[in-house]
Amino acid sequence: MNLTDRIVVITGGAGGIGSAMARRFAAEGAAAVVVADLDVAAARAVAEGIGPVAHPVELDVADEEQVRALVADTERRYGRIDLFCANAGVASAGGLEVDDAGWDRLWRVNVLSHVYAARAVLPAMLARGGGYLLHTCSAAGVLTSVGDAPYATTKHAAVGFAEWLSITYRDQGIRISALCPQGVDTPMLSEGLATGHLAARVIAASGPVLTADQVADTVVAGLAEERFLILPHPEVADYARRRAEDPDGWQSGLRKLVRRLRS
């Protein structure tokens, strides 16, 4: 898929990766970019920076009614949605001490929101015989997230759901990509690095920290190739291969890295 004349929706569109994709998609010639975010003031600022093709919307992706309304309003306003980017995501920075409410929040934002989006957009896309879903997952979804149990678990679920959608709907013209970056210089990572959190330190030690603009470049290339796994950090493919071939050796290597970071 190229972006020319496309109608695009991006959730978490006011954040680091979401706003970079919004700007880049507009620069590629998208006809409309809906910047949807919990933080509507930030969404407005991003849309204003882009210009008239961008449209800010207040959205909580964890609320299915709001996701349904976003899709219906966008289809009414622009006639269709070509590309829906389920990008909003949150981390917990915790382990077993995270309570059920904390797990529930990550489950809803990182996983169920992708289910809500697919339920809302697929009927019209299937009727038209085409459409594209980009799910921002994470390298944590094909590897792990040391120091953040709900993030590792929900991102694995997000990759699993995207894969299921791809296998189920690809033959009906629906294309799905799972975007799985490792470290990206956005508030999500920089706040963790500022507090010295283990999850952020492991990420920073595992490969380069990319800018959100670099991730947006990889996304445009991945969409053009209609590739399922979009990996802005190519080394993630090697780590995933090592993890599949030798799970015990891979875990042992990670534990060694954690011991080194803690010493």
Which residues of the shown chain bind ligand NAD in the complex (CB under 6 A)?
11-12, 14-18, 37-39, 42, 59-62, 87-90, 109, 136, 138, 181, 183-184, 186-189
The two three-digit tokens of residue 151, written as one number? 């993030």
CA distance 208 to 51: 32
Q: What residues form DSSP beta bridges with 175?
A: 132
Maximum CA extent, the chain: 57
Parallel, antiparallel or unpaired: strands 83-86 and 7-11: parallel
Q: Which is nearer to ligand NAD, 131 or 150 (CB)?
A: 150
CA distance 186 to 169: 32
The neighbour count for residue 22, using CB atoms within 10 Å, is: 32
> Which of these is catalytic: 78, 116, 132, 151?
151
Q: Which is nearer to ligand NAD, 131 or 141 (CB)?
A: 141
Q: Please report how close the Cβ of residue 37 comes to ligand NAD at its closest, in angstroms.
A: 5
Residues 52, 171 contacting (CB under 8 angstroms): no
Q: Please report how close the Cβ of residue 252 comes to ligand NAD at its closest, in angstroms.
A: 24
Q: What residues form DSSP beta bridges with 7?
A: 32
Q: Please report how close the Cβ of residue 155 comes to ligand NAD at its closest, in angstroms.
A: 7
Whole-Å CA distances, 215 to 16, 17, 134, 219, 246: 10, 7, 13, 6, 29
Q: Which is nearer to ligand NAD, 130 or 160 (CB)?
A: 160
Q: Which is nearer to ligand NAD, 238 or 246 (CB)?
A: 238
Per the annotation, the verdict on 151 as an active-site residue is: yes
Radius of gyration of the chain (CA): 18
Q: Please report how close the Cβ of residue 59 comes to ligand NAD at its closest, in angstroms.
A: 5
- The catalytic residue positions are 151
